Amino acid sequence: MKNLFLLFFIFFSTLSFSQEEDFQTNDSLKVDTKYLEDQLYLTITYNTLSNQPNMVTDSGFSYGISAGFIKDLPLNTKRNFAFGIGLGYGFDSFNHGLKVMENNNQTSFEIDNTLMSNKFVVHNIELPLELRWRNSTPTKYAFWRIYAGVKLTYNFSNNFTYVSNNDSFEFNNISSFKKFQTGLMLSAGYDAFNLHFYYGLTPLFKDSFIGNDSIDTKILKFGLTFYIL
């Protein structure tokens, strides 16, 4: 997985550099006053879970990768303010301490920090909505940006696995997992490299309890977003 991250990093860095070189070559030929910015994105994040039940801890490394297209819709003649609406795919993998089981479409939860392995992975369709500020111009292709907004997601696949006493257990598409989720996001930076933050507003599970305590687990992400085109 580290090699995959490195490959993505090199690929997008090379694309960004090549794009800037091409634009600089063409500057003297033509200036596009109706330019658009940052319509392809790749985000790589470190993931963690917040609002976990008492005595539940994260364990191991959790990460996420998402990529997609965002239509850039400038809101003024300078085109430095814009609205963005997009469509993408997101993959997230979590190592965690909450034991999740499914039987006859009924999900149950236990706190068991002795499990040898305990993880879940999700595959989502993403719909990012952004308000965008940048100090770009028709001939300036390395610029500062601050993009803030919300991300709507639809989960089309989730998989929970754990290993206990050398026995493996697996549950797919559990009934209590919320298919539709929302979160706040912020990306800010310069040129190709931008810090990214995501705060989930929707609990992962619906109507779920351990004893009398509700489970309100949410997702936090910290990472980098790369933009091109």
DSSP one-letter string for 95-143: E-SEEEEEETTEEEEEE-TT-SEEEEEEEEEEEEEEEEEE--BTTB-S-
In this predicted structure, the answer to whether residue 103 has a pLDDT above a threshold of 70 is: yes
Residue 140 within any structural domain of the chain: no
| pLDDT at residue 92 in the model | 98
Portion of the chain with pLDDT greater than 90, in percent: 59
Q: Which residue has the higher pLDDT, 54 or 198?
A: 198
Domain assignment present for 34: no
Q: Report the phi/psi class of residue 55: left, alpha or beta, with left for phi > 0 and alpha for psi in -120 to 50.
A: left
Quote the DSSP letter at residue 205: B
Residue 86 counted as domain residue: yes
Q: Write the CATH number for 154.
A: 2.40.160.20
The pLDDT assigned to 22 comes to 45
Is residue 33 included in any domain, yes or no?
Answer: no
19 within some domain: yes
User: Which range is least confidently modeled, 13-17, 96-100, 143-147, 148-152?
Assistant: 13-17
Give phi and psi for 187, each to the nearest 5.
Answer: -125, 135
Cα 36 to its chain centre, rounded Å, is: 23
Structural domain harbouring 91? 2-26+39-135+145-228
Domain count, the chain: 1
Answer yes or no: is 80 within a domain: yes
